[in-house]
Amino acid sequence: MLIGIIGKANVGKSTFFNAATELAVQAANYPFTTINSNIGIVHARQKCVCTEFGVQDNPIHSICIDGNRFIPLNLIDIAGLVPGAHLGKGLGNKFLDDARQADALIHIVDASGSTDSEGKPISPGTGDPISDVRFVEEEFDLWLASVVSRDWNKVSREAESQGQKLEQMLAKRLSGLAIGSHQIADALDETGIYYKKTTLWTQEDIFNFCKTIRLKSKPIVLAANKADLPTVDKNINAIKNAGRDVIVCASEAENLLRRAAKKGIIHYLPGDNSFNIKREAELNDQQKKALRIISNILSKYGSTG
């Protein structure tokens, strides 16, 4: 399973990636590899069978720590999107190259509103995370639409004259995108174009089909990042009011906690709602202050996300 991190520039994608792939805990008993610079291993946490059912566990492909099971997944840090990426703007092509392999996506949003649509710093609270969510998803759909509609007149005519099945023709167009043919069939059905002659498809039909197939094949979780900044609450509420589920997320804090845990300064397991300082004497005032701030974030949101 490969999970991709998407979002516009400077929202904290790489910080999230670094935090998530930093193994704060003892080395795993399976090969730990960073596949390449932007692909790493993360661990999803759930209760282990040893605590849940009181049985003896013997994890082979995952790790059990203090009754919590950490299950490895692959994570890919994908190049940031800018408006117009589907036309090759910014690192558009690199984005699309990485994103196509993902089975699910984490969309990181700068919930503090301290970056504009191109990721440039602006005064906190003035950015509009809701329009960021929209533009990133739309860029993705427009890119898919550009893949599907390439030489559409020719391809659709040929497919019709050869009596080729629509799912097959589209599966070929979308190959390499980790999209299943049943997902294509379902998306055609939902878009209402299953029985429409492909030569009559409009750009809008193609776009709607692409949006539907993206929702099916690459489900997105929204992560409202930079939760340490005071301007997040208003934006998190706005995202929720727009009908979207969102996970509040503090990547920089998580990064710091995992590094401190690795050095043995604190006891902290990723996903915990608190931490214990083990070696307080080694901390300077600034570090103590940072940990106090993080402790407040954990009590407010229940975890770093």
With CB under 5 to 8 Å by kind, the binding choice for 291 among Mg ion, ligand GDP, none is none
Cα three-residue angle 217-219-300, rounded to 5 degrees:
170
Considering the rule CB under 6 A, would residue 21 count as an interface residue with ligand GDP? no
Cα three-residue angle 125-118-143, rounded to 5 degrees:
125
DSSP string of 7-37?
Answer: -BTTSSHHHHHHHHHS--SSPPSS-----BT
User: Which position among 3, 6, 11, 85 is part of the footprint of ligand GDP (CB under 6 A)?
Assistant: 11
Query: x/- string (CB under 6 A) for ligand GDP, residues 60-89?
Result: --------------------x---------
**Between residue 108 and residue 137, which ones bind ligand GDP under the rule CB under 6 A?**
none
Measured distance CA(14)–CA(177) in Å, rounded: 23
Q: How far is the CB of 247 from ligand GDP (least distance, A)?
A: 13
Measured distance CA(274)–CA(272) in Å, rounded: 6
**Which listed range, 9-17, 130-138, 209-217, 236-244, lies at the site for ligand GDP (CB under 6 A)?**
9-17
3-state SS class at 250? coil
Residue 8 near residue 128, CB atoms below 8 Å: no
With CB under 5 to 8 Å by kind, the binding choice for 173 among ligand GDP, Mg ion, none is none
- Nearest position to ligand GDP, beta carbon: 12
**Between residue 2 and residue 61, which ones bind Mg ion under the rule CB under 5 A?**
13-14
According to DSSP, the β-strands at 104-110 and 2-6 are parallel
Considering the rule CB under 6 A, would residue 223 count as an interface residue with ligand GDP? no
Residues within the interface to ligand GDP (CB under 6 A): 7, 9-15, 80, 225-226, 228-229, 250-252
